[in-house]
Structure 1
Amino acid sequence: MSLWPPWRGRSKLGEKDPMGGPSQLPKQDYEALQERCLRNGCLFEDSSFPATLSSIGRGPLLQKLPPRLQWRRPPELHSNPLFYVANTRRLDLCQGLVGDCWLLAALQALTLHQDILSQVVPLNQSFTENYAGIFQFWFWHFGKWVPVVIDDLLPVDEAGQLVFVSSTYKNLFWGALLEKAYAKLCGSYEDLQLGQVSDALLDFTGGVTITINLAEAPGNLWDILTRATYSKTLIGCQTHAGEERMLENGLVDGHAYTVIRIWKVTCNHEPEYLVKLRNPWGKVEWKGDWSDSSSTWDLLSPKEKIVLWRKDNDGEFWMTLKDFKTHFKLLVICKLTPGLLSHEVGQKWSYTMQEGRWEKGTTAGGPINLHQARDTFWKNPQFLLSVWRPKESRTLLMPCSVLVSLIQKPRHRHRNRKLPLAIGFYLFRMSQLSDDQRKLPPEFFLRNHPLVLPEVFRSEKEVSRELWLEPGTYLIVPCTSKAGQESEFILRVFSKKHLFHEIGSNPKTVFFKEIVDQAEGHEKFFKYFERNPEINAAELQKILNHLPWSGLGSTHPLFSLDACQGILALLDLNASGTVSIQEFRDLWKQLIHYQVVFHKHDSNRSGCLNWGQLRAAMKNAGIVLSDDVCYLMLIRYGGPKLQMDFVSFVHLMLRAEKMESIFQNLTQDGKGIYLQKPEWLLMTMYS
């Protein structure tokens, strides 16, 4: 297949797609549908993505199908069907008739991180317990995680073999079902035919994808790969574009692969840098140096050869970094830790997301035209970005690392119906602040040259760039390559400390309107962020105790200073003693979620949870503890009568989620971590 930037996306569920056609995904309650099927003794059939040719597509893919295509459920295909088994070999998926190697390459990368995989694929689903023929998957879809519900009817040939994705273990079906869910999200199986690894990685993680052109790779590429393979990243790559055909060297043109490992060996007393890749086909491998049949393995010590060399036709192979750069075109790194390329892995980063739209005649201004008066560029949406150093870094006169990501939304509910636009963004330095009420006029762009501009406008779902900026205020202008082109977009900014909002809106006004929902007196919260964009524990206490807590009924929580100090300690990894407005925004979203969960399980409206209610509430919020540990948490955070109020519940949930996050960031295999004494003391005492 030819690899080109794919397109997919939906408007909000249940709404009309502003770019044409209704949203493809209906509102489907997985738990309610499953319960109804169990109660009625039937298996779920998804009328919104039926087991018919309409779900497969309407183009060339239909010509590839076997003559007697059938739809069967896994229990009809195997005597012992399994959804997922953790202790099997993880890289177990093979591509079928659909040309979705880009999806499979990203999915293979996903299986290397069990915690990320379990977020996309709920691993507690099965064909035995509460089986009703219904399954659910989660995808990061333009700023939020959305569930996709499917039935388990899969297309097979007359012999009962899966037509599309299958597993090397014939009784495992999670990959085939996930492909079906993703096909539903994208419109049909045929809408998976062409694509790019970066798009699937984005949909699986919500991370930021960095694409490196290997012909222009930086000199420290091996260092980048080393940091990537030992941190929260997923890595894919693509050969040179063209028709999908196998070359004499064993590689496939127009094809996507997964980078699964790197290793430095000693060969002839010199270091040799090796990269291990996997072909989503599960076969067809590289035939050059360091391939399975290469004699170069004899140059290694017996120990290294035993560790690295496998002679299996399983699609996995080694090659040198030099050959990798020669024969592959793109390296795609999906970053879940924004400091990957800047040596700042594990540091505290703020994250802000803004939505916008390019509309013909109003906000679709197109790029800067150096040969004409810039009379349309200024019409593009304009965003102010203020960047400053964290307190602990102010003595180091280093620029601030800022990661900017621009994602365009869909123009059609079927992913392949309309190609993505070519997009990019400009960045200008602001010598003085705007009044925040109106766009900067054309004169500003005639007098000021961009500090950063697109090297090339790219027809991709996401374009991103890591910048090093001096503290100050900047203007970001996202645009398309031509004026008048319409689309919606998401603009994300990652940094240690920043404020970010669209010109024409006061960030504090918008933020607190979100918080209090236009409650009277909300303007009194402004003063806490006016003098300094950070607040301490005492100011946090004032804000929390003045906020409306309508979701808790008549019970109004009272946050003590000690409780706020504990909350701040959990958020404040840099030990600055303060939190920013963005961090408070994230905290508020968590508090809203905890409020809903707490009120749901406080069935007697006492304002407190007992042991059984606490256990159910934590499970509902995504934290599963054993009965003994849950009881200990009630003793630790509850009152003398073993009852836990809302404030204590918030402190417990924040601590549990933070500890889980720390563990996942530190573990390499999901089984354990190693901490030195100072790190252990910091985690146990300060948090």
Structure 2
Amino acid sequence: MPLWPPLLGRWKPGQKAAPGASAPLPTQDFEALQEQCLRDGCLFEDSSFPATLSSIGSGPLLRKLPPCLQWRRPPELHSNPHFYSAEAKRLDLCQGLVGDCWFLAALQALTLHQDILSQVVPLNQSFTKKYAGIFQFRFWHFGKWVPVVIDDRLPVTEAGQLIFVSSTYKNLFWGALLEKAYAKLCGSYEDLQHGEVSDALLDFTGGVTVTIKLAEAPGNLWDILAGAIYGRTLIGCQTHLGNERVLENGLVDGHAYTLIGIRKVTCKHAPEYLVKLRNPWGKVEWKGDWSDSSRTWELLSPKEKMMLLRKNNDGEFWMSLKDFIAHFKLLVICKLTPGLLRHEVGQKWSYTMLEGRWEKGSTAGGPMTLHRARGAFWKNPQFLLSVWRPQEGEMFPKPCSVLVSLLQKPRHRHRNRKPPLAIGFYLFRMSKFFDDREKLPREFFLQNNPLSFPEAFLPEKEVSQELWLQPGTYLIVPCTSVACQESEFVLRVFSRKHIFYEIGSNSGIVFSKEIEDQTEGHDEVFAKLFEQCPEINAVQLQRILNHLTWSGLGSTRPLFSLDACQGILARLDLNASGTMSIQEFRDLWKQLTLYQEVFHKQDRAGSGCLNCAQLQAAMKDAGIALSRDICLLMLTRYGNPSLQMDFVSFVLLMLRAEEMESIFQNLTQDGKGIYLQKSEWLMMTLYC
């Protein structure tokens, strides 16, 4: 299914959790437990989430419970129980005693996408085939899909009525069982009290949520909704803060709803923009314009009115976009593809996820302050991000769309015991090559201002931002609003093409002292390196080239920047995988060996650079004859301001020149010239 894969970060086996980290769920093998129960002829009882008050909670929720609370299984509650029915109305769930409208509103949105629902709720479970009182659900939990196993004992009244989530179809129990599994994931039923729609949408999909404050709604809100409704999205919304009190207009304050549809209708004088919402309670509806009993429906044609109006007290209702903006506080859109609020056909996105932590005394540096010299901001985890266009060689590079998502992990086994910290991230532009094996020092942040920074630190599970960046290298620094606060986090980046890693990490390549000191037998060195990484990316290519000995350059040691390695990889990456195999690297090394020989031959003074005459001679030695004017042009394009060219720039020039010569040989008929159609000529000129 088209959900983003869980690409885990740099968590190392045996690495201890940060102080205050939440305890993991117990590992339970669903199939093994089910088979054991079937063999023993018994029904599963989950000791890790028992049928006792401890699973419900220990606070105010206990006072809401009915007297004589019991725990019963669905076959004890109905003569013909079903787990799920595709024939039933999709939005069939109603909220119970727990104030988890945020969870239920997200769940209602989930039911609009059957393939996504089946990822969270395996629909092949039943109360007949292989029934053993055990069920399993899956949630996206900070980078990976986590299975949650439960038994099917549900809390009910003495009369057998479910006290939490129930279905309008009394014999369907998937919603009640899913709520129990989510309560187990969060700690207890009481830990489902109060939350954000965005939190549940994230746990159901692993997507990225975009929250729009309706008081600051953009002018193209309708277009955003249209793109979201007809794309791969789940949409929720929340009214203004309150205590879930029913207002005179029929809305509930402090309450979450699901947005399930939109419609542009034609009135007598002007078009009207309508949104369709559903209350998780399964009742209590809007009473204003376009409600079930409103006279505004008479403004439509009888046919359109018949198509849209359903006079049922089922919690579903229409209202105008204008009223929606006025009476609701937040709109939450969860995108399942990283195109965010735009529909882009045929575009491939890359996705990288890394884990990190803020730890008191080392990496919990807090935010930047006015007195940055006295701050510890530089101690925060630092991540290098290099972005570039999928199509290299554009004459006028366009900004790249990059989505950054920062997630903080819960700090306690029970979700509501420790509220989330206020978090955010800064973005800096990197202007020169540096040693990425160590963090950037305090001086970097004294001399550079961030391109992007948190307008406000938000105490939320996830903060995300879409950035439009020119191709280049950037630094992302996630932090908390106050120094010395501890938590673990997940940082995700989505873009067309990028490299993303933590500064100070080894990026998957570990160099032994023997490899660093070795001057001969490079093929053996390469074999050892590629045992660790069968395919290397530009970051790893940079590390290899900067660690190997360049005997053909004398005392001069070249430093390959990440941009240069991206350029090299772009020239040689024929299958557009973004990586290089050992055989491709061996071919590259043969070319580099030739380049260093001809470069060193012309650089007699050992300055590490070539002037125009030396460049012309070096290229001739390498088999490419260029005029002096062309060489001057190449120095302007690839050289430094003094019209001198170092070895790394020489490598890039030679790779480009050989590639263009190869293209010429493929296009020419007589070896003297070529005839290009307009489209071919445009491609060639833009590529160069």
Whether TM-score is above 0.5 comes out as yes
Q: Do residues 194 (structure 1) and 173 (structure 2) align?
A: no
Asked whether the 8 Å contact 1:352–1:582 carries over to 2, the reply is no
For residue 578 of structure 1, what is the amino acid of its counterpart? A
SS of alignment partner, residue 341 of structure 1: coil
Asked whether the 8 Å contact 1:214–1:331 carries over to 2, the reply is yes
Asked whether the 8 Å contact 1:13–1:23 carries over to 2, the reply is no
Q: Do residues 425 (structure 1) and 425 (structure 2) align?
A: yes
- How far 1:434 sits from its partner (Å)? 2.5
Q: Do residues 209 (structure 1) and 209 (structure 2) align?
A: yes
Q: Do residues 320 (structure 1) and 327 (structure 2) align?
A: no
Asked whether the 8 Å contact 1:13–1:25 carries over to 2, the reply is no
User: Which residue pairs with 1:281 in the alignment?
Assistant: 281
Asked whether the 8 Å contact 1:388–1:497 carries over to 2, the reply is yes
- 1-structure distance, mates of 2:82, 2:280: 21
Asked whether the 8 Å contact 1:387–1:472 carries over to 2, the reply is yes
User: Which residue pairs with 1:218 in the alignment?
Assistant: 218
Asked whether the 8 Å contact 2:231–2:343 carries over to 1, the reply is no
- 2-structure distance, mates of 1:282, 1:351: 38
Asked whether the 8 Å contact 1:338–1:345 carries over to 2, the reply is no
SS of alignment partner, residue 341 of structure 2: helix
- 2-structure distance, mates of 1:583, 1:51: 55
SS of alignment partner, residue 142 of structure 1: coil
- 2-structure distance, mates of 1:49, 1:583: 49
- 2-structure distance, mates of 1:509, 1:13: 17
- 1-structure distance, mates of 2:254, 2:426: 31
Asked whether the 8 Å contact 1:405–1:493 carries over to 2, the reply is yes
Cα deviation code 1:407-453 (max 9, x no counterpart): 00111000000010000000001101331111111111111110000
Alignment CA distance shift 1:58-1:484 (3 Å): same
- How far 1:270 sits from its partner (Å)? 1.3
- 2-structure distance, mates of 1:408, 1:36: 37
Alignment CA distance shift 1:103-1:510 (3 Å): farther
User: Which residue pairs with 2:576 in the alignment?
Assistant: 578
1:326-365 matches, cutoff 5 A: 326-344=326-344, 346-365=346-365
Q: Do residues 522 (structure 1) and 539 (structure 2) align?
A: no
Q: Do residues 45 (structure 1) and 52 (structure 2) align?
A: no
- 1-structure distance, mates of 2:249, 2:574: 55
Alignment CA distance shift 1:510-1:93 (3 Å): farther
- 2-structure distance, mates of 1:378, 1:159: 61
Asked whether the 8 Å contact 1:19–1:410 carries over to 2, the reply is no
User: Which residue pairs with 2:290 in the alignment?
Assistant: 290
Cα deviation code 1:233-274 (max 9, x no counterpart): 100000011222111111111000000001111112311111
Alignment CA distance shift 1:474-1:419 (3 Å): same
User: Which residue pairs with 1:503 in the alignment?
Assistant: 503
Alignment CA distance shift 1:519-1:181 (3 Å): farther
Which consecutive residues of structure 2, in runs of 5 or more, have no partner in the other structure?
1-10, 512-524, 542-572, 583-688
User: Which residue pairs with 1:627 in the alignment?
Assistant: none
- 1-structure distance, mates of 2:13, 2:30: 15
Alignment CA distance shift 1:72-1:417 (3 Å): same
SS of alignment partner, residue 48 of structure 1: coil
For residue 143 of structure 1, what is the amino acid of its counterpart? G
Q: Do residues 467 (structure 1) and 463 (structure 2) align?
A: no
Would you say how many aligned residue pairs link Structure 1 and Structure 2? 529
Alignment CA distance shift 1:383-1:582 (3 Å): farther
Asked whether the 8 Å contact 2:21–2:487 carries over to 1, the reply is no
User: Which residue pairs with 1:606 in the alignment?
Assistant: none
For residue 529 of structure 2, what is the amino acid of its counterpart? H
- How far 1:218 sits from its partner (Å)? 1.1
Asked whether the 8 Å contact 2:283–2:315 carries over to 1, the reply is yes
User: Which residue pairs with 1:248 in the alignment?
Assistant: 248
For residue 370 of structure 2, what is the amino acid of its counterpart? L
SS of alignment partner, residue 138 of structure 1: strand
For residue 140 of structure 1, what is the amino acid of its counterpart? W
- 2-structure distance, mates of 1:519, 1:194: 55
- 2-structure distance, mates of 1:314, 1:417: 35
Cα deviation code 1:612-651 (max 9, x no counterpart): xxxxxxxxxxxxxxxxxxxxxxxxxxxxxxxxxxxxxxxx
Alignment CA distance shift 1:295-1:530 (3 Å): closer
1:247-646 matches, cutoff 5 A: 247-344=247-344, 346-373=346-373, 375-391=375-391, 394=394, 397-509=397-509, 521-523=528-530, 529=536, 577-581=575-579
Cα deviation code 1:183-230 (max 9, x no counterpart): 001110000011110000000000001111111111111111111111
SS of alignment partner, residue 177 of structure 1: helix
- How far 1:71 sits from its partner (Å)? 0.5
- How far 1:342 sits from its partner (Å)? 3.9
- How far 1:16 sits from its partner (Å)? 8.3
Asked whether the 8 Å contact 1:368–1:374 carries over to 2, the reply is no
- 1-structure distance, mates of 2:539, 2:505: 19
Alignment CA distance shift 1:131-1:435 (3 Å): same
Alignment CA distance shift 1:470-1:21 (3 Å): closer
- 2-structure distance, mates of 1:72, 1:102: 26
Cα deviation code 1:92-117 (max 9, x no counterpart): 00000000000000000000000000
SS of alignment partner, residue 326 of structure 1: helix
- 1-structure distance, mates of 2:374, 2:356: 21
SS of alignment partner, residue 421 of structure 2: coil
- How far 1:373 sits from its partner (Å)? 2.2
SS of alignment partner, residue 499 of structure 2: strand
TM-score, normalised to structure 1, is: 0.74
Alignment CA distance shift 1:270-1:510 (3 Å): farther
For residue 237 of structure 1, what is the amino acid of its counterpart? C
Alignment CA distance shift 1:150-1:408 (3 Å): same
- How far 1:23 sits from its partner (Å)? 2.3
User: Which residue pairs with 1:68 in the alignment?
Assistant: 68
Alignment CA distance shift 1:443-1:92 (3 Å): same
- How far 1:375 sits from its partner (Å)? 3.1
Which consecutive residues of structure 1, in runs of 5 or more, have no partner in the other structure?
1-10, 512-517, 535-574, 585-687
SS of alignment partner, residue 282 of structure 2: coil
- How far 1:523 sits from its partner (Å)? 3.9
Alignment CA distance shift 1:274-1:123 (3 Å): same
- 1-structure distance, mates of 2:238, 2:537: 48
Asked whether the 8 Å contact 1:244–1:254 carries over to 2, the reply is yes
User: Which residue pairs with 1:139 in the alignment?
Assistant: 139
User: Which residue pairs with 1:612 in the alignment?
Assistant: none
For residue 41 of structure 1, what is the amino acid of its counterpart? G
Alignment CA distance shift 1:455-1:97 (3 Å): same
User: Which residue pairs with 1:587 in the alignment?
Assistant: none
Alignment CA distance shift 1:368-1:17 (3 Å): closer
Asked whether the 8 Å contact 2:425–2:479 carries over to 1, the reply is yes
- 2-structure distance, mates of 1:510, 1:311: 67
Alignment CA distance shift 1:528-1:68 (3 Å): closer
- 1-structure distance, mates of 2:31, 2:491: 33
Q: Do residues 84 (structure 1) and 84 (structure 2) align?
A: yes
- 1-structure distance, mates of 2:393, 2:261: 34
SS of alignment partner, residue 182 of structure 2: helix
Alignment CA distance shift 1:59-1:109 (3 Å): same
Alignment CA distance shift 1:44-1:165 (3 Å): same
Alignment CA distance shift 1:238-1:367 (3 Å): same
- 2-structure distance, mates of 1:12, 1:54: 34
- How far 1:509 sits from its partner (Å)? 1.7
Alignment CA distance shift 1:153-1:358 (3 Å): same
TM-score, normalised to structure 2, is: 0.73
Asked whether the 8 Å contact 2:229–2:262 carries over to 1, the reply is yes
User: Which residue pairs with 1:564 in the alignment?
Assistant: none
Alignment CA distance shift 1:67-1:19 (3 Å): farther
User: Which residue pairs with 1:549 in the alignment?
Assistant: none
Asked whether the 8 Å contact 2:402–2:493 carries over to 1, the reply is yes
User: Which residue pairs with 1:634 in the alignment?
Assistant: none
- 1-structure distance, mates of 2:371, 2:13: 44
- 1-structure distance, mates of 2:430, 2:130: 59
For residue 166 of structure 2, what is the amino acid of its counterpart? S
For residue 576 of structure 2, what is the amino acid of its counterpart? T
- How far 1:346 sits from its partner (Å)? 4.9
* RMSD, aligned α-carbons: 2.7
Q: Do residues 183 (structure 1) and 183 (structure 2) align?
A: yes
SS of alignment partner, residue 373 of structure 2: coil
- 2-structure distance, mates of 1:110, 1:457: 29
- How far 1:340 sits from its partner (Å)? 2.8
For residue 272 of structure 1, what is the amino acid of its counterpart? E
